[in-house]
Structure 1
Amino acid sequence: MPAPIVLFAYKRASELQRTVTALQANYLADQSELYVFVDGPRPGRADELAKVDAVRAVLDNLTGFRRIHRLYREQNMGCANSIIAGVTAVLQTHPSVIVLEDDIVTSRNFLDYMNQCLERYADTPTVFSIGGYTFPFPRPQGYESDVYFFGRTCAWGWGIWADRWEQVDWALRDFDTFITDESACKAFNANGQDRVRMLKRAYTKEIDAWDIRLCYSEFKWGGVTVYPTISKTINIGIDSVDSTTEVVYNRYKTVLDNSLPRRLQLPADVSVNPAYARRFRRKFSVPVRMWNKLKTFLLASRLAIGKRAGVGKPVEQ
């Protein structure tokens, strides 16, 4: 039986419709159980009531899965608390889960990929989680596998086992010890120079983030995440009207898998490929992040000028 799918939604009916339409088209959709969690509107935000109702309407009419469980929250839990509580609840009765949010469009073989990886690496302790998204990295010469490994979790379509999830310390009880340990911070930042800063912001509740805490737990576990060599997901919510931030330069653009192989080549040897690791680290290095911020600033300036002149959004370069 395929692993259950856990889908989180809030107030983006348009993005959600695209997400569930793509998910319905997956080869294993009609064999899979779907758990849907919809967060409630925030207190004092009457403008969100209609948006949340529109999301519920999309899900009320949803079909195409073996069984659908719906939980519509009356009160707002927030993104992080909603995801943590929902995944925890489903993993109480299932050994593994596949998780999506309402702005993730999947390839038709996404569920095949996730289920094969969850089965293949269930008893491989070094594999902490499965990721569905990847940057459009060129395949290294002679590389034959359909996946690669890297020590950073993925939030855009992912899977995990109950025994790994149970190890996560969501309260970050050792944060004070960690943040004063220079060598530990350096090691954590080795797979992305943004990670220590994000963890600190999550600890101080400056950001409502669950994913960096999961990433930190993988680091302490000494594990890696499985990534596809061709992305099985794309994020359509980065520049959504209801996104928390307006993004005018999307550095996460990728190519969704359209070759659609259903049986994937998954290696027994769980080792980090140097070429993939080098490219992945570079994406989150200080120079590249600074360059991306500059692009964002320049595109935002062009957008502002275009609005004043009555011109539409500038094309990303």
Structure 2
Amino acid sequence: MINIKDLPILILGYNRFDKFSRCINTLEEQGLKNIYVSIDGPKNEFDKKVQKKIINFCLNNSLNLDIKIQNLNKNYGCRLGPINGITWFFKENKYGVILEDDVIISRKCIDLFSILLEEYYFNENIISISSFNEFTNKKIESIYEVPVWRSWGWASWAEKWQMHLKFSNRIKNLNIWQIYNLLPKEYRLIETAELIKSCQLNLMDAWDYEFNFSHIVNNKKSLTIGGINNYVYGFDNSATHTDNIKNVDIDFKLFCERNVDEFKIQKLEKNKEISTISKCGFSTSKYKNIFSLKIDLLKSLFFSFIFYLRIVKRNAFKKFYCVE
């Protein structure tokens, strides 16, 4: 098992000092020392002020932590910002744990991460470890192999993150119809392909859908610890996407210190019911006849046209407001 104090932890931050400080204080209380912090660049003076406070806290903290900081020069947003931070982190480490600044995970979950990161280092079928999945049995302390991954407290390996980046780069120029045909038949929906293309074009400011896409299309799995082993406290006006906990329908009050015996780890379900992925942006598809396939093709053309118009509008907006 990896020595806990040496386990690399990445915190993805931005402009929420109160949440960031709670996250890093919790890590210190849990005995973790090897901390990386990636901060997306500021949009305005308020962001600059808060980020300076975060950086000063990291540099002058009295928590006896080894903190490495990446402060990006410009604002990359909720897609490219995390991708940049995670890539930087995995250039420095062969594995590690990734937390957003409003997430904490239990110490026993961290212990289990340290075991699984070593045990599955060479396993090509597992490319991530998730601290929770609300669909798994909360009373059974076990581990599942699930075809989707959860971004609120997770771990992975540098080589597997690079695999995802290479795959994403390889398919970035595919059109919606080509992305649609990459999906396994049970997940083949034009709306899912539209979602992925929207992310690729930075029309949707989110990065996690593409990582789940890598899982599903490449038939990879996420080791998922049964129950709720994390706590998210960022559901408020400071959140970009999920400002209300009712929108996610997850009971974080179930967060607990779970007792998982490392010698009795059982994968009771290699494939959870397909319904488990519906909240991760991927729904199941029904049997398609020729007529429905033609409809999907027309939808792909329609979405492509809409994307083209949105990109033209975005570029015109940037050109109009560009200052020489």
Q: What is the alpha-carbon distance in structure 2 between the residues aligned to residue 179 and residue 47 of structure 1?
A: 42
Note the alpha carbon deviations across 1:231-252, whole angstroms, 9 max, x for none. 2212222324343464362324
Aligned CA distance change for structure 1 residues 198 and 183 (closer, same or farther; 3 Å): closer
Aligned equivalent of 2:81: 82
The alpha-carbon deviation at position 11 of structure 1 amounts to 0.3
Equivalent residue for 1:51? 50
Cα distance between partner residues in 2 of 1:266 and 1:198:
39
Q: Deviations over 1:101-127 (max 9, x none)?
A: 111122122321211111121122111
Identical positions, percent: 18
Q: 1:243 aligns with which of 236, 240, 243?
A: 240
Counterpart of 1:128? 127
Over 3 Å counting, the alpha-carbon distance change for 1:240 and 1:148 in structure 2 is: farther
More deviation, 84-93/228-237: 84-93
- Counting matched residue pairs gives 276
Give unpaired runs (5+ residues) of structure 1.
288-317
**What's the Cα RMSD here?**
3.3
Mean Cα deviation higher: 225-234 or 171-180: 171-180
The corresponding residue for 2:229 is 232
User: In structure 2, do the counterparts of structure 1 residues 153 and 65 end up closer, same or farther at CA, with 3 Å as the change threshold?
Assistant: farther
2:251 to 241, 250, 254: 254
Q: Which residue of 2 aligns with 1:21?
A: 25
Structure 1 match to 2:13: 9
Q: Note the 1:21-40 alignment, pairs <5 A.
A: 21-26=25-30, 28-29=31-32, 32-40=33-41
Partner of 1:291: none
User: What letter is aligned with 2:97?
Assistant: I
Partner of 1:99: 98
Q: What's the secondary structure of 2:133's corresponding residue?
A: coil
Q: Which moved more, 1:129-138 or 1:248-257?
A: 248-257
Q: Kindly tell me: are residues 175 and 264 of structure 1, through their superposed partners in 2, closer, same or farther at Cα, counting changes over 3 Å?
A: farther
C-alpha distance in 2 between matches for 1:248 and 1:139:
19
Are the structure 2 counterparts of residues 260 and 271 from structure 1 closer, same or farther at C-alpha, using a change threshold of 3 Å?
Answer: closer
Q: Which residue of 2 aligns with 1:115?
A: 114
Trace 1:67-216 onto structure 2 (pairs within 5 A).
Answer: 67-135=66-134, 137-139=136-138, 146-168=142-164, 169=166, 170-171=168-169, 173=171, 176=174, 179-180=177-178, 184-185=182-183, 187=185, 189=187, 195-216=192-213
Report the Cα distance in structure 2 between the residues aligned to 1:184 and 1:5, rounded to whole angstroms: 33
| C-alpha contact (below 8 Å) 1:87/1:97 kept by paired residues | no
TM-score, with normalisation over the residues of structure 2? 0.72
Contact kept in structure 1, 2:138 and 2:227, CA below 8 Å? no
Q: Give the 3-state SS of the residue equivalent to 1:280 in structure 2.
A: helix
Measure how far apart 1:35 and its partner are.
Answer: 0.9
- 1:264 is matched with 262
Between the aligned partners of 1:215 and 1:76, the Cα distance in structure 2 is 24
Normalised TM-score (structure 1): 0.73
